[in-house]
Structure 1
Amino acid sequence: MLAPDSVRVVRATADTVVAHGSLITGRFYDRMFDAHPELLDLFNRGNQANGEQRQALAMSVAAVAGHFAGMKPVPLTAIVGRIAHKHASLGVTPSQYVVVGRHLMAAIGEVLGDAATAEVIAAWDEVFWLFACLLVAEESRQYERAGSTFSRPFTPHTVVDVHRDTEDVTSFLLEPDEDPARPPLPGQYVGVAVDLPDLGRQIRQYTVSSAPGESPLRITVKRHRADGDRPEGMVSTHLHERVRVGDRLQVGPAFGDLVLPRGDSPLLLASAGVGTTPIVAALRHLVAVGSTRPVAVLHADRSPEAHPLRADLVDAVDRLPGASLALWYETKSSRRKGLPLGTKVHKGLVDPDLIQVDPEAHALLCGPLPFMRTVRRALLDRGVPAERIQYEVFGPDAWLGSEEPSQASGAGRA
């Protein structure tokens, strides 16, 4: 808990800090990378360039500070868990929080100027360290569960097959040098570290699209092409253009909390685009264990040809006695052959009025934010409690500050 004096100061200065949030986080990253350029290895440079990472950090700091000061409760456990999973997949160490705290407080002082009194800096420093201690503790637990450590987060894997799923999506099958201490849970992701010419090491997270225990391990990667101000994906482009069978990749243990809930409750698995990867892993797991749970599967894409892992998804639904499938394609589709009996194929974007769900269902969502907002709103309107709706964001999670943070839950990653 924050000290009473710190609560008073945070409440009095929260609006000012939030109003300058992007400036503060921008200055923070500039300062930290100037002093510690080696930390660039831990950050997605594309998200740094387009400002998404800075915006997400500003939203998170504001939300957590408001929570600690009793201004607006947020799902702190979910937020800590989501960020801790991401940090563990990157190999973040406890000592790095000292660096972050030093430069974040300096950035607040530089941006706020005379308003950043010693009392103000002390109060916000207390907020940071409360949050940091929660994260370090949870990250330690995550490393222990994964059978890994801060000092050795990655192990070599050999690429044994490369399969092009669509024009922009490729799957890589990987054999580890040593068996993982714990197989991935369905829906989790692994960190993949690559060395890029002239840039050094970069790490990205990719969902394991194979079922737990399947060998070899499969990751499915979308190539991010340049789009407006957004540069092409450095790591995804490298994997698509340069990685071949026989190459070696450094891969971390599995993390992430977008996993199937235990039990036999109904499920809604909703995805769009490459967000299908955790859904396919979950479906393959359900097939492997002979599940009879009611499962409503919903996927949206540009076209059947652009739909990653379409054959895997269709096959799994067909083999699950309690599963149904609804597809939305932006272009009209005539590819109905081989679809499970009763599959509904719609043209256009997802229509929330056509989403059918059991109010007792647990829902897992993965895809672009507009898609997930649409589906989530429809589920809430149909009586599914917010705590039974999990989501995953590919990229910095800016949902926290933009849509009912007290009700959001799930995992976010890049």
Structure 2
Amino acid sequence: MHRKIQRRPEGAPVLSEKSRPVIEATAAVVAEHMPEITPKFYAHMFEAHPELLDGVFSRANQRSGEQAQALAGSIVKFAVHLLEHPDTLPEAVLARIAHKHTALGIVPEQYQIVYENLFWAIADVLGEAVTPEVAEAWTEVYWLMADALIKIEEGLYAQQANTKMWTDWKVVAKEPTGNAAVTFRFAPADDTPQTPGRPGGYLSVRLKVEDGLRQCRQYSLSDHAESADERVITVKLDEGGEVSPVLIQNVEVGDVIELSNPYGDITLRDDAETPLVLATAGIGITPAAAILDTLASRGSQREVHLFHGDASWDSVALREQVAESLQALENGTGRLWLGVPPQESPAAFTTTEGLMEFDDVELPADASYLLCGPLAFMQATRSKLIDAGVPATSIRYEIFGPDLWLAA
């Protein structure tokens, strides 16, 4: 069962005809038991490879179960796609996972570790139901997915200006914004060649937490995203978290920490001229702020609308930066939905009390939509946009942490 299948030659069918009926017969059973399989898998893997908790896997996501849900959802979704679309791969799903992986420095050898421990857990949970035929079929599914991800990740790594997973950056500024967020500005701490980022993209921060173990978190680039010699992120305090309290409370100007190269698949499309709608909530405004900054610095004539929901005007992170970008855009508008609206609408914005709705909003035709914020907000907003006539294919989203939307 712990044997890696041979990679298939280019042009060959994605899923073999031998495995197809086995996957069709067992997909529902595997999906049903994934909530039990994945916790066993992670516990078994970390017992055998505790080093993976030092700077690779998030302990917080393990405790919450979010990483397990995301893994289960991605494998089952991949298998179902192979059944429903036998000659293609789910490129969008794979790209999203690959960008997350490269921002954590995942390497091909780690896929074998995951395979061995995941299939141990499958056999442990399903028992005699895992016949040699079932094991071989799901092995094929796993390695089809793994090989596709490895290929994408190799391409992403090759695009970087350096061959390092992590480089040192010095904190040159630390600026509070909103009620519970801080913007960090970094400059390179050495002469390692650095890769420009992309507006809408993100990077990983890796640092030691209270018990000395290293933990990683991914944060959107929030300003000057296309720079190669500056990194800017905005971090919201999660009082129950491990990384944001260390960043906000302990890291000061002059300190040096490790940052990954920039990644992200939900970024500004340079060739697009159609209207752009950025619908965000809370700290989800960070990638939108970088996109607006980039468009403003280019003198873009593109029609751009920022829709943002928050508790109050004072709660809005990066509000001055966003307002300045909107005012610099000839065809840029901003609208806020606030729990407590200000007496007067801030410059560059109109304000509405309550939750984000589109009943009285004239949505531009043929626009691209980018959502970012809490998962429940994005799910509700996507439904409202579709009800308003926006094609589902025009809506993209960026989610912080494991993709539980995909898992669903």
CA shift for structure 1 position 4:
1.2
The match for 2:317 among 308, 324, 334 is 308
Q: Could you give the per-residue CA deviations for residues 225-269 of structure 1, whole angstroms, max 9, x where no partner exists?
A: 2xxxxxx11011110110001100111110001111223211101
Segments of structure 1 that go 5 or more residues without pairing to the other structure are 226-231, 403-414
Map 1:89-104 to 2 at 5 A.
89-104=103-118
Q: Normalised by the size of structure 1, how large is the TM-score? A: 0.91
Distance in 2 separating the partners of 1:395 and 1:329? 25
1:79-110 Cα distance to aligned partner (Å, 9 max, x none): 11000000000000100001001111111000
Instruction: Confirm whether residue 371 of structure 1 aligns to residue 385 of structure 2.
Output: no
Q: Residue 269 of structure 1: which of 269, 278, 281 is its match? A: 278
Secondary structure at 1:140 match in 2: helix
Paired with 2:394 and 2:360, the residues of 1 have a C-alpha distance of 20
Q: Which residue of 2 aligns with 1:190?
A: 203
Paired position in structure 2 for 1:78: 92
Distance 1:294 1:143, change over 3 A: same
Aligned residue in 2 for 1:106 = 120
| Structure 2 CA distance for aligned equivalents of residues 86 and 192 of structure 1 | 13
Amino acid in the other structure paired with 1:25:
T
Hey, what's the Cα distance between the residues in 2 that align with 1:398 and 1:20?
17
Give the superposition deviation at 1:332.
3.0
Q: 1:314–1:71: structure 2 CA closer, same or farther, 3 Å change rule? A: same
User: How big is each residue's C-alpha offset from its partner over 1:311-355, in whole Å with a ceiling of 9 and x where there is no partner?
Assistant: 111111111010111101112322524x12xx3201111113234
Q: Displacement of 1:144 after TM fit? A: 1.0
Task: Decide which moves more: 206-215 or 318-327.
Answer: 206-215
Q: Does 1:278 align with 2:290?
A: no
* Residue-by-residue CA offset, 1:151-181 (whole Å, 9 max, x unaligned): x211100001111113321111100123654
Instruction: Indicate the percent of aligned positions where both proteins have the same amino acid.
Output: 40
Cα gap change, 1:180 to 1:283, in 2 (>3 Å)? farther
1:96 is aligned with what amino acid?
Answer: Q
Q: Which residue of 1 aligns with 2:174?
A: 162
Corresponding residue SS for 1:306: coil
Provide the aligned C-alpha RMSD in A: 1.8
Distance in 1 of aligned mates of 2:369 and 2:150: 29
SS for the counterpart of 2:15 is coil
Contact 1:326 1:345 in 2 (8 A): yes
Q: Kindly provide the amino acid, as one letter, of the partner of residue 310 in structure 1.
A: R
Letter in 2 for 1:21: M
- Range that drifts further, 215-224 or 93-102: 215-224
Q: Distance in 2 between matches of 1:73 and 1:373?
A: 30
| 1:266-289 CA distance string (max 9 Å, x none) | 110111111100000000000111
* Pair 1:43 & 2:57 matched: yes
Contact 1:10 1:123 in 2 (8 A): yes
Please list the CA deviations of residues 363-403 of structure 1 after superposition, one character each: whole Å capped at 9, or x if unmatched.
1111112221222223323443323211100121111243x
SS at structure 2 position matched to 1:349? coil
The answer (yes or no) to whether the contact 2:203–2:261 under 8 Å persists in 1 is yes
Tell me if structure 2 keeps the 8 A contact 1:270–1:365. Answer: yes
Q: Which of 159, 162, 172 is the aligned partner of 1:145? A: 159
1:180–1:253 Cα contact (<8 Å) kept: no
Q: Is the 8 A contact 2:105 2:165 kept in 1?
A: yes
**Which one is further off, 25-34 or 164-173?**
164-173
User: Are the equivalent residues in 2 in contact too, given 1:66–1:72 (CA < 8 A)?
Assistant: no
Structure 1 residue 60 corresponds to structure 2 residue 60: no
Match of 2:357 among 337, 351, 354: 351
Q: 2:46, 2:52 within 8 Å by CA — same for their partners in 1?
A: yes
Match of 1:10 among 16, 23, 26: 23
CA contact (8 A) 2:82 2:89 kept: no
On the 8 A contact 1:355/1:378 being kept in 2, the answer is no
Offset, 1:201: 1.1
Structure 1 match to 2:255:
247
CA contact (8 A) 1:359 1:383 kept: no
TM-score by length of 2: 0.92
Cα distance in 1, alignment partners of residues 63 and 272 from structure 2: 43
Letter in 1 for 2:377: F
- Distance in 1, matches of 2:192 and 2:110, equals 29
- How many residues were matched structurally? 391
Shift of the 76–322 alpha-carbon distance from structure 1 to 2, 3 Å rule, reads: same
Structure 2: state its 5+ residue gaps: 1-13
Question: How far apart are the structure 2 equivalents of 1:184 and 1:321?
Answer: 25
State the Cα distance separating 1:111 from its structure 2 match. Answer: 0.4
CA contact (8 A) 1:156 1:249 kept: yes
Shift of 1:199: 4.3
